Amino acid sequence: MSLYSIVKHIHVACVILSIAGFFARGLMMMRDSPVLGHPWLKVVPHVNDTMLLMAALALTVLTGQYPFIDAWVTAKIFGLIAYIILGSIALKVGGTKRTRTIAWLAALVAFGYVVSVALTKHPAGLFLAA
């Protein structure tokens, strides 16, 4: 197995863990679950997301595809920024449960867009066929 394949598998595994965790924390937020306050739920996502980012950077170097040079990589970065901002509103700074829920749903859409860009390697992502 090549280094590229190993790093890509790590990246994809971290993506799956990241969205599964975000989805679960969003459900807990909507249900006012006390589990959401546990320290491990504040640490584990950051560890996973750090590994995800490190793998993404490694893939960038290994493939030679860089933001602001390759349009689809740039689109992924902007989608990721939107996902992070919306996720922060959803799980931390949103004032009302309604605001947090809408931000959570919007973050899931942003995540879907990022994945679609990654799969199509085109900045339009899921809008490519439209």
- Band (pLDDT 50/70/90 cuts) for residue 1 is confident
Model confidence over 8-40: pLDDT tens digits?
A: 999 999 999 999 999 999 999 999 999 988 999
- The region that residue 66 occupies, defined by phi over 0 for left and psi between -120 and 50 for alpha, beta otherwise, is beta
Q: What is the predicted pLDDT for the residue at 94?
A: 87
Taking 70 as the threshold, does the pLDDT of residue 101 lie above it? Answer: yes
Model confidence over 116-125: pLDDT tens digits?
A: 999 999 999 9
- Band (pLDDT 50/70/90 cuts) for residue 130 is low
The domain locations on the chain are 3-127
Buried b (16+ CB within 10 A) or exposed e, 27-36: ebbeeeeeeb
